[in-house]
Structure 1
Amino acid sequence: MLDTDTTVLSHHRDAARLWGKGGRDYDDISFVISDALAHAAQRLAASAGDAALDVATGTGWTARNVARSGADVTAVDISEALLDAAVTLSGPGHPPIRYRQADAEDLPFADAQFDRVISTFGVMFAANHEKAASELSRVCRPGGRLALATWVPGGSVAEFFGLIASHGDAPAPARSPFDWGEPDCLEGLLGGSFDLTFERGVSNAYHDSPEHIRNWYMRGFGPVRDVMDRLERDARTAFIRDLDAYHARYETADGLLHIKREYLVTIGERR
């Protein structure tokens, strides 16, 4: 079920449109990082009967991972298009997942409402880091647990986003989302409310060719689709060339691509 009776903050409306461009095909993007999504969900350690919240759920991959435990899962995102896909993909699971359009900086929930709170490569893209972190803390009960998966600064994903930005015309964010992949920054954002521990990981994905992975991104990854939609023919050709060159570096001896993406899992125990 989907509840859209919530206002997305004005400074996130462009982001909602951007990420929503992938629609249901964004689930393929989640598939290729599903090892990292599972890492965070397992470290959340939800149990049957726990009230759990997934922030920036996308097409619901992490929400479904958490629901495997029998937890009572609520999942939110700013994109109605992604939430529509999540509802379809989740089907009539038991217990059912409640999907709701909501902004990470203004969660429509009571203080200490959830036993478990998770976000996988989602809350890191909120514009106001302090406000988003404050909301994660506010809705998690004392003794509850937080789990985050975030891309690290200087890693392959940060480089990939830099490539996309170099071909687009969107202004750079005031704060880098990759700050959420730095333990010192996370201590500043969340350490006042949580006792934090950190685990580093590498997500592994495999593709037949640069063209194969490029087509996945062009179908399901909103930031790539958005740039492609905006570029004229020659500029689009240059973007494709740079995407293919970036991914060709991951070619293995057997001709396949082995894409490695470095990430950080943060586990917080709410004081």
Structure 2
Amino acid sequence: MTTAPSDDSALKAKHRAMWALGDYPAVAAEVIPELGTVLAGAVAAGPGVRLLDVGAGSGNAAIPAALAGADVVASDLTPELLDVGRALAEQRGAKLTWEQADAEALPYADASFDAVMSCVGVMFAPHHQPAADELVRVCRPGGTIGLANWTPQGFIGQMFAVLKPYAAPPPPGAQPPPLWGSEEHVTALFGDRVTDVVAQRRTVRVDRFATAEEFRDFFKATYGPTIAVYRNIADQPDKVAALDEALAELGRRNDLGRGAMDWEYLLYTARRAG
């Protein structure tokens, strides 16, 4: 088993707390509901498939996979998100297992899943190589690895670039999440341990917000990384005002009309070699 660096406990605690801020399940359900269904289909979730969802959150991909008939384990670092997922799964009649787990040190045996997936989840693990190693390790030879991750060039990649000057410095060794949306980066992470790679840059249509300001205010209230950045500058009103305007401008720049936006992501599938 690949193990995360031994001094990471404080960093992981901080990540857990960040994703418990606000209401990420509202983001998944109201803003990007189709993304999980697309990924579950891409990994051919269905009867007879034992599937692990890494960074599952509240089950945006895990629940559709379970409803398709797969035997699903939904894992996430943040137990508050899993609690919401359990309730959502019960409402929708989906049966699956929910377990707290660190993407960089998964508590599962080698080759124990037919498919391993992550829907804008594993990309937020701070150390990319250990996380990639774990995805490969727990997938059986010939099994499928499937990822949907925001690209650096797309809307969320742009948003993180806007947030960066106002955020606390990242811890040593932590890598930017949107790198997982770069085919070259993911190719380097997996190397020759995977075959039959299919990498497609796609977009998801987001029409939840009527205005750029509505997008900004929703993400200020619900999205953990945005909330954390605003907390970092809470005692600097000039910076708060500047970030408010920068996020609104981001929304205006990407507005296709009446608030609709296309957010780019990389849909990546591969088979574990061996």
Q: Do both share a fold (TM > 0.5)?
A: yes
C-alpha contact 1:72 1:95 (8 A) present in aligned 2: no
Whole-angstrom CA distance in 2 between matches of 1:64 and 1:124: 20
Query: Aligned letter for 1:189?
Result: L
Whole-angstrom CA distance in 2 between matches of 1:139 and 1:128: 18
C-alpha contact 1:28 1:216 (8 A) present in aligned 2: no
Match of 2:243 among 204, 218, 239: 239
**In the TM superposition, what is the alpha-carbon distance from 1:92 to its structure 2 partner?**
6.0
Relative distance call for 1:19 and 1:170 in structure 2 (3 A) is farther
In the alignment, structure 1 residue 200 sits paired with structure 2 residue 212? no
Whole-angstrom CA distance in 2 between matches of 1:190 and 1:168: 30
Unaligned runs of at least 5 residues, structure 2: 1-6
RMSD across aligned positions (CA): 2.1
Residues 129-144 of structure 1: matches in 2 within 5 Å?
A: 129-144=128-143
1:249 alignment partner in structure 2: 253
C-alpha contact 1:49 1:72 (8 A) present in aligned 2: yes
Residues 131-210 of structure 1: matches in 2 within 5 Å?
A: 131-171=130-170, 174-195=174-195, 196-206=197-207, 207-210=209-212
Unaligned runs of at least 5 residues, structure 1: 1-7
In the alignment, structure 1 residue 82 sits paired with structure 2 residue 85? no
For each residue in 1:16-69, what CA deviation from the matched residue of structure 2 results, as whole angstroms up to 9, or x when unmatched? 1111113xx212211312333322211010121321100001111111111121
Farther-moved stretch of structure 1 (127-136 vs 242-251): 242-251
In the alignment, structure 1 residue 126 sits paired with structure 2 residue 125? yes
| Percent identical | 33
Whole-angstrom CA distance in 1 between matches of 2:49 and 2:145: 13
Relative distance call for 1:48 and 1:138 in structure 2 (3 A) is same
Whole-angstrom CA distance in 2 between matches of 1:226 and 1:186: 27
2:4 alignment partner in structure 1: none
Relative distance call for 1:167 and 1:236 in structure 2 (3 A) is same
Question: What SS does structure 2 have at the residue aligned with 1:127?
Answer: coil
Farther-moved stretch of structure 1 (50-59 vs 244-253): 244-253
1:29 alignment partner in structure 2: 27
Query: Aligned letter for 1:217?
Result: F
**In the TM superposition, what is the alpha-carbon distance from 1:88 to its structure 2 partner?**
1.9
Relative distance call for 1:235 and 1:114 in structure 2 (3 A) is same
**In the TM superposition, what is the alpha-carbon distance from 1:94 to its structure 2 partner?**
5.2
TM-score normalized by the length of structure 2: 0.88
TM-score normalized by the length of structure 1: 0.88
Relative distance call for 1:178 and 1:152 in structure 2 (3 A) is same
Question: What SS does structure 2 have at the residue aligned with 1:91?
Answer: helix
Question: What SS does structure 2 have at the residue aligned with 1:159?
Answer: helix
Whole-angstrom CA distance in 2 between matches of 1:209 and 1:183: 32
**In the TM superposition, what is the alpha-carbon distance from 1:9 to its structure 2 partner?**
5.0
Query: Aligned letter for 2:187?
Result: E
Query: Aligned letter for 1:203?
Result: V
Match of 2:228 among 221, 226, 243: 226
Whole-angstrom CA distance in 1 between matches of 2:249 and 2:188: 37
